[in-house]
Amino acid sequence: MRRGFGTLLKQGWLWGRVGKFTVVGAVGIGVNMLLLYGLRDGARLPLLLASPLAIEGSIASNYVGNDVWTFKRASRSLRRFAKFNLVSLGSLAIQTGSLYTIVAVSHIHYLLANLMAIGLGFLWNITVNFLWTWKEGT
């Protein structure tokens, strides 16, 4: 039986998952920020290389968190991980481009600019992942 969007809202299903997806994303922000700091300031990698590496590290942690907790899947799926990673690559492009643009235009600290860029990537991620990666019945 298919549930309509309105029904999902009324039952709290969608909001509960949005909250969990957001918490997992917040943990991913911590992973991303620590990796970015370590790669940029520790390993002295250029920002345009450090950022996508940090994002990919947080992608892996976010997939596991969402698969286990948000969507309560009994086992990990290589297909779902590939979908999640593909969606996240879109976010990587959004975040990296936004990060570079924000720093270049506003000259604010790269870590603050990174938080702004993560917000833009989050909007893409939650929309496409809910509608495709973890679509009901997949």
The C-alpha atoms of residue 95 and residue 88 are separated, in whole angstroms, by 10
- As a whole number, mean pLDDT of residues 53-75 equals 92
Judge whether 40 lies within some domain.
Answer: yes
Band the pLDDT of 1: cuts 50, 70, 90.
very low
The C-alpha atoms of residue 51 and residue 102 are separated, in whole angstroms, by 14
Judge whether 92 lies within some domain.
Answer: yes
Quick one: pLDDT at residue 52? 86
Judge whether 17 lies within some domain.
Answer: yes
As given in the structure block, the two tokens for residue 18 are: 């949005």
Positive or negative, the CA dihedral 114, 82, 31, 124 is positive
pTM above 0.95, yes or no: no
Judge whether 138 lies within some domain.
Answer: no
